[in-house]
Amino acid sequence: MKESVVLDCLLEIHREIESDVGEDPTKVAADVQPLDALGGFDSPLIPNVIRGLARKVGISLPKGKRLLNPYVDSDRKKLNLRGVARRFCELYGKEA
């Protein structure tokens, strides 16, 4: 799984979220911390984004599978979208 492909899909998902809630989708960039800087994104959306991102990159996550949060690192530090893409690949790359 290529991190750049995951990042592109993640940016697309976040732009759609921002647009859907009337926020500015042009704010979505690789260096943005979505949990702090994006008005349309909140932590309850994380599971939906993980599943949607997995589908976009060809990963099948079984229903009921416990999802791990790629929006924070192992020290619970919030990540920017580039970091989220990297962490997603670490957490879910074996599923591909």
Per the structure, the count of domains in the chain is 1
Domain, as residue range, for 36: 3-95
Q: For the chain, what percent of residues have pLDDT higher than 70?
A: 99
> What gap in Å lies between CA 44 and CA 47, rounded to an integer?
7
What is the sign of the dihedral through the CA atoms of 64, 65, 66 and 71?
Answer: negative
17 phi-psi bin (left φ>0, alpha ψ -120 to 50, beta other): alpha
Per-residue pLDDT band at 96 (split at 50, 70, 90): low
CA dihedral 73, 77, 80, 84 (to 10 degrees): 20
**Paired tokens of 63:** 């229903």
Q: What is the pLDDT of residues 38-54, one digit of tens each?
A: 999 999 999 999 999 99
| Total-model pTM | 0.94
